[in-house]
Structure 1
Amino acid sequence: MGATTIVTRFAPSPTGHLHLGHAHSALFAWRRAREAGGRFLLRIEDIDPVRCRPEFTDAILEDLAWLGLDWDGEVRVQSAHLPEYGATLDALSARGLLYPCFCTRADIAREIAASAAAPHGPDGPLYPGTCRRLPADERAARIARGEPHALRLDMAAALATMREPLTFHEEREGRLRCDPARFGDAVLARKDVPASYHLCVTHDDALQGVTLVTRGEDLKPATDLHRLLQHLMGWPEPTYAHHGLLTDETGKRLAKRDRAATIREMRAAGATAAEVRGRAGE
């Protein structure tokens, strides 16, 4: 594979059946790779053991094949690679860039409510840093007692490693400035999930040699945090192409939680693959 070969990927989470929005995103990445003679990868992001189900993984593979999409190499299933994500967390922790957070959602909500002006980021109110201020011996004792905890990125420590501002290259827009600080001390591993989306996606994009990250524009803000993780871990920087989102007749984004019509339902109703691809914006 040449150094300039485009490598894209589609990386759904198996928490439900694919709908038109997913088809649009998959087709967008698949076309970019195929038109350039590059590689299109399929990744299953099933880190969350509560929401992800293997039958949805099977359905994703079946729906994509029915749509006529093919992919290169084996499908990467994230749940089969937990030690790799753990090694990344260990590397960040060894550099003093992570800290354990014992707060519950209720604890955080109470502290934010008591604050006169809680700052907000792309995902809502920022964590107030309660556990960042814990003494090292107290952290160690609580971990030794087996207290459930998340792992948070110490954003101030992470930003202190940078010699110049981070940027990323967005197709059609050029270089854009990153502001990872707006995420605050982001969670990189939850109490019930061994590694976060942010950590896993950047790890896998680097490992798999993805050169062009294509995804919905709703994920564009996350690029700031992903570029910081790439900087911290010495991972290569891909180019980004964030595409528009499909909406319903009211202008609302298609989503699983709103019971958007699935590809399987359209197929059962008699739609052809070509028709579904057309509705997905091909």
Structure 2
Amino acid sequence: MTSAGRFAPSPSGELHVGNLRTAILAWLFAKSSGRDFLVRVENLDRARSGAEAEQLRDLEAVGVRWDAAVVRQTERAALYDEAIARLTADGRTYECFCTRREIQEAPSAPHAPQGAYPGTCRRLSHAEREIRRASRPASIRLQTDVVEWSVEDQLRGTYVGVVDDFVLRRNDGVTAYNLAVVVDDAAQGIDQVVRGDDLLPSTPRQAYLATLLGLPIPEYAHVPLVVNHDGARLAKRDGAVTLGDLAAVGISADSVRNLILESVGLPAGTLGEALPHFHPRSLPTEPWVWKTPRP
């Protein structure tokens, strides 16, 4: 199987400049290392009608091309079910009936961050589970035997994060992100994951899960986000931040691509022209503050 990098958006709305910057960097990482580049639509949740087509159109508008057909998570349920079945057969899963509020209010394990699962339902007896099943559907959690796991990141070095008993399947039947992303990356031959550094804290969980499933751990690179003038993560409420909104004020997709390339120290032009100048270790390590340019 050919090794590959990828960009995996959730089709919840139009891509903004921060998303497009990450996609361009993922493409540059992949192509500079001789990998294919793939796009996967992570549409298990929060899908908005028409958003997928908009996102693919915008990727093409800034010059991002992919080397195989787009894959959608909603087409891959059998793979997720198989992975959960394997973990269950190994005694690695249990039913959880806790609400989000109950988890937030429960005492945390020592040194665990707020919101980390404290293991409440791991300790339920068979009779207690039967009682809870009668009133509330269960999610499926991974039963871990570690409290933390380390990963290597090209830009961040060694990162150690908490690994709790995280959800594999929600109580509405939807596969959880941490399971789906691990299964999908392995199935697609993706051995390089480039994404925003807001996802770094979840990476130790994913690497640990890959180990349990006997799957390879990808090479990681978590890139800085694009932020607004207040330092908050860029969002559509920050004004003209999508290609559509920017076009409406006279800023072309080519201009947006050039601004993104310049933000990481690369010359303006096509992605192919920028590629020979791309060196991961030369990337900025601080967030990029977005200021809507004048036409």
Shift of 1:186: 1.1
Shift of 1:177: 5.5
Q: Which amino acid aligns with 1:132?
A: R
CA deviation map 1:107-153 (0-9, x unaligned): 3344x2xx4x665756x32223221111134435654x484111111
2:120 corresponds to which residue?
Answer: 130
1:64 corresponds to which residue?
Answer: 59
2:70 corresponds to which residue?
Answer: 75
Shift of 1:72: 1.1
| SS of match in other structure, 1:168 | strand
CA deviation map 1:202-253 (0-9, x unaligned): 1111111112110111111211111101110000121111111111122222
Counterparts of 1:187 and 1:69, CA distance in 2: 33
Q: Which amino acid aligns with 1:8?
A: G
2:220 corresponds to which residue?
Answer: 240
Residue 155, structure 1, aligned to residue 135, structure 2: no
Counterparts of 1:242 and 1:104, CA distance in 2: 31
2:153 corresponds to which residue?
Answer: 170
Shift of 1:154: 1.5
After superposing the two structures, state which structure 1 stretch, 239-248 or 98-107, moved more: 98-107
**Residues 254 and 260 in structure 1, CA contact (< 8 A), matched pair in contact too:** no
1:41 corresponds to which residue?
Answer: 38
| SS of match in other structure, 1:280 | helix
Shift of 1:37: 3.5
| SS of match in other structure, 1:29 | helix
Q: 1:275 aligns with which of 252, 255, 262?
A: 255
Q: CA 1:105/1:259 → structure 2, altered by over 3 Å: closer, same or farther?
A: farther
Counterparts of 1:212 and 1:43, CA distance in 2: 14
| SS of match in other structure, 2:6 | strand
1:225 corresponds to which residue?
Answer: 205
2:289 corresponds to which residue?
Answer: none
1:94 corresponds to which residue?
Answer: 89
| SS of match in other structure, 2:194 | strand
Residue 215, structure 1, aligned to residue 195, structure 2: yes
Q: TM-score, normalised to structure 2's length?
A: 0.79
**Residues 228 and 238 in structure 2, CA contact (< 8 A), matched pair in contact too:** no
**Residues 119 and 126 in structure 1, CA contact (< 8 A), matched pair in contact too:** no
After superposing the two structures, state which structure 1 stretch, 207-216 or 21-30, moved more: 207-216
Q: CA RMSD in A?
A: 2.5
**Residues 104 and 115 in structure 2, CA contact (< 8 A), matched pair in contact too:** no
Q: CA 1:149/1:251 → structure 2, altered by over 3 Å: closer, same or farther?
A: same
**Unpaired stretches in structure 2, ≥5 consecutive residues:** 263-295
Q: CA 1:133/1:147 → structure 2, altered by over 3 Å: closer, same or farther?
A: same
Q: How many residues align?
A: 262
Shift of 1:259: 6.5
Shift of 1:30: 0.8
Shift of 1:172: 4.6
Shift of 1:183: 3.7
Aligned-residue identity in percent: 40
2:281 corresponds to which residue?
Answer: none
Residue 139, structure 1, aligned to residue 129, structure 2: yes
Counterparts of 1:244 and 1:198, CA distance in 2: 21
Q: 1:187 aligns with which of 160, 167, 172?
A: 167
**Residues 152 and 159 in structure 2, CA contact (< 8 A), matched pair in contact too:** no
Counterparts of 2:173 and 2:77, CA distance in 1: 10
| SS of match in other structure, 2:250 | coil
**Residues 10 and 41 in structure 1, CA contact (< 8 A), matched pair in contact too:** yes
Counterparts of 1:268 and 1:258, CA distance in 2: 15
Q: CA 1:276/1:209 → structure 2, altered by over 3 Å: closer, same or farther?
A: same
| SS of match in other structure, 1:155 | coil
